[in-house]
């Protein structure tokens, strides 16, 4: 595999040995690979937003976080060299990130993201690395998912938040970049719903999630600059509508909003495949499933297809989630339930023709 940092050239150049002091990485450093949505502070919004680092000679990593960081803490998921994510609670100030046993020589890939759908803001001031460390480019995967949804996608109620949710698991399976634009309680329709001031048909196009409304230092929204998505998504997956139904949005109105939303997405993503989930419904202890908007999703997809767009696909999730797959107190998927949903989607996508990447685009090399 051809990579962007020839190891022999790096060593021969003396760059590693030339670094003789602890390394402070400014938050404007272009070698920090930001993913998800960050405001200008820079601070995170939406579950799963974060950053990736590729570092030669890494032994220690400290995040210095500013005053916009969630108080009393923000839970972040950390993965070192593509190992499973674990949680680190961070606060305003200096935060040492545990890295475990690292190779004595070579590069280390650190992936870090906010886990929660709320209290999910980290305000990056700078990053401090150990003496002798060298930040080098992170190469993103050729595959990049954008998932759009509500609590059923954002990982609400899961111990590790979005890092255990089906969108995140699917992205990891394909060795892809993945962005989750999902907010518990939010409808697709631009209405007030369970504390959300806007629906996803509005908020998707903003930097901030609906938590902005309750944040005194940032009680406003700003348009999201989609050119900042690096890479641009190659595939989009949408699962939404439960909260529209809960707010008594008529089916005809929901269909109209959904069709308009997809047409607006097409102005940003003219050729990317879009996968529209039908609801798996609300499982009950007696084995029944509470459904909503029967036939609506089929109508949305067929309407778009009739307009000439053949790159939109219906994903029938009937039977994917049963009573055993949900928390009995709220009917949201539990940890095994999310894993089951991810496995079902992975099967759908591989059957459709999408194959996982053989390796991560930024390899971990032993120099």
Domain boundaries along the sequence of the chain: 7-136, 144-352
Give the predicted TM-score (pTM) of the model: 0.93
In the block, which residue shows the tokens 């641009």?
232
- Categorize the per-residue pLDDT at 102 as very low, low, confident or very high, splitting at 50, 70 and 90: confident
pLDDT at position 5 over 70? no
d(CA 329, CA 210): 24
Q: In this predicted model, what pLDDT tens digit does every residue of 222-262 receive, in sequence order? A: 999 999 999 999 999 999 999 999 999 999 999 999 999 99
Range from 202-211, 252-261, 292-301, 358-367 carrying the lowest mean pLDDT: 358-367
d(CA 268, CA 273): 12
How many DSSP H helices and E strands does the chain contain? 9, 17
- Categorize the per-residue pLDDT at 105 as very low, low, confident or very high, splitting at 50, 70 and 90: confident
Closest by CA position to 71, among listed 1, 9, 33, 121: 121
- Categorize the per-residue pLDDT at 1 as very low, low, confident or very high, splitting at 50, 70 and 90: very low
d(CA 153, CA 157): 11
Give alpha helix (H) positions in 205-314: 242-246, 251-268, 296-306
| Four-CA torsion 146, 149, 150, 153, nearest 10 degrees | -60
CB burial of residue 337 (10 Å; 0-12, 13-18, 19+)? buried
pLDDT at position 81 over 80? yes
Quote the crossing angle between the two packed helices 335-352 and 166-173, to the nearest 10°.
50
pLDDT at 103: 72
What percent of the chain is modeled with pLDDT above 70? 94
pLDDT at 239: 98
Closest by CA position to 69, among listed 124, 28, 111: 124
In the block, which residue shows the tokens 């032993």?
366
pLDDT at 367: 64
pLDDT at 4: 43
| CATH assignment of 7-136, among 3.30.1360.40, 2.60.120.260, 3.10.110.10, 3.50.50.60 | 2.60.120.260
Mean pLDDT of 12-37: 76
d(CA 245, CA 293): 7
pLDDT at position 15 over 50? no
Contact 309, 264 (CB under 8 A): no
Q: In this predicted model, what pLDDT tens digit does every residue of 127-165 receive, in sequence order? A: 999 999 999 999 999 999 999 999 999 999 999 999 999
What percent of the chain is modeled with pLDDT above 90? 91
Q: Which CATH architecture has domain 144-352?
A: 3-Layer(aba) Sandwich (3.40)
Residue with the bigger pLDDT between 6 and 98: it is 98
d(CA 274, CA 152): 18
pLDDT at position 72 over 50? yes
The mean predicted confidence, pLDDT, of the chain is: 94
d(CA 56, CA 367): 9
- What's the angle, vertex CA 21, arms to CA 15 and CA 22, rounded to 5? 105
pLDDT at 253: 98
CA separation (Å) from 350 to 57, 319, 337, 354? 37, 19, 20, 5
Mean pLDDT of 108-127: 97
């Amino acid at each position: 595999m051809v990579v962007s940092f020839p190891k022999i050239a790096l060593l021969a150049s003396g760059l590693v040995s030339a670094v003789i002091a602890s390394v402070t990485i400014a938050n404007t450093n272009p070698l920090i690979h930001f993913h998800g949505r960050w405001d200008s502070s820079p601070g995170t919004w939406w579950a799963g937003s974060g950053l990736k680092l590729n570092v030669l000679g890494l032994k220690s990593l400290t995040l210095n976080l500013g005053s916009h960081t969630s108080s009393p803490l923000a839970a972040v998921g950390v993965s070192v060299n593509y190992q499973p994510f674990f949680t680190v609670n961070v606060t305003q100030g200096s935060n040492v990130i545990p890295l475990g046993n690292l190779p004595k020589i070579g590069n280390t890939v650190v992936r870090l993201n906010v886990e929660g759908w709320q209290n999910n803001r980290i305000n990056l001031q700078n990053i401090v690395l150990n003496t002798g460390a060298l930040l080098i480019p992170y190469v993103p995967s050729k595959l990049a998912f954008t998932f759009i949804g509500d609590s059923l996608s954002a990982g609400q109620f899961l111990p590790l938040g979005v890092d255990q949710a089906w969108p995140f698991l699917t992205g990891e399976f394909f060795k892809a970049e993945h962005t989750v634009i999902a907010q518990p309680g939010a409808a697709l329709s631009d209405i007030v719903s369970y504390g959300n001031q806007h629906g996803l048909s509005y908020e998707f196009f903003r930097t901030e999630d609906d938590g902005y409304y309750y944040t005194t230092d940032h009680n406003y929204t700003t348009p999201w600059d989609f050119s900042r998505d690096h890479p641009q998504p190659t595939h989009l997956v949408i699962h939404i509508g439960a909260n529209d139904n809960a707010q008594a949005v008529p089916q005809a109105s929901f269909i109209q909003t959904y069709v308009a939303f997809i047409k607006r997405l097409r102005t940003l993503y003219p050729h990317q495949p879009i996968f529209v989930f039908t609801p798996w419904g609300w499982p009950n202890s007696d084995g029944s499933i509470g459904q909503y908007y029967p036939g609506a999703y089929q109508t949305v997809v067929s309407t778009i297809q009739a307009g000439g767009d053949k790159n939109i696909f219906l994903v029938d999730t009937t039977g994917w989630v049963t009573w055993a797959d949900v928390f009995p107190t709220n009917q949201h998927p539990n940890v095994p339930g999310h894993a089951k949903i991810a496995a079902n989607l992975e099967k759908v996508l591989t059957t459709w023709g999408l194959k996982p990447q053989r390796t991560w685009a930024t390899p971990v090399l032993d120099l």
